[in-house]
Amino acid sequence: MGRRTEGGHAARWTAAERARYSQLMQAREAWASSTGPRSAEGKAKVSQNARKHGPLAWAEQRLTHAYLRSIAALLVVKYCGRGIQ
């Protein structure tokens, strides 16, 4: 595991390596100790994860930036005409 080719790229795992790694992960049972948030504050915080990391987050950020750029352009037009820079 963690092998590299001469070009520095990760080497592809063989079927035997994948099976061995799968057995190791099954034996570890990491999900058994994963409890998630317990407090109301923690639950409220993680409920907003999709807003930052979800599939629509990128589109929402682009729209917000476009909106702010348009407001900035309007302010420049408005105040540059009065001599305020």
Residue 32 has pLDDT above 80, yes or no: yes
pTM: 0.34
pLDDT class for 82, splitting at 50, 70, 90? Answer: low
Q: Strand, coil or helix: what is 4?
A: strand
Longest dimension (CA), the chain: 74
Residue with token string 């092998």: 3
Tens of pLDDT, residue by residue over 41-61, are: 999 999 888 888 887 787 877
Tokens of 78: 């408005």
- pLDDT interval class at 83 (50, 70, 90): very low
Per DSSP, which regions of the chain are E strands?
none
Q: What is the pLDDT of residue 85?
A: 46
Task: Report the pLDDT value the prediction gives residue 3, as an integer from 0 to 100.
Answer: 64
Tokens of 54: 């979800």
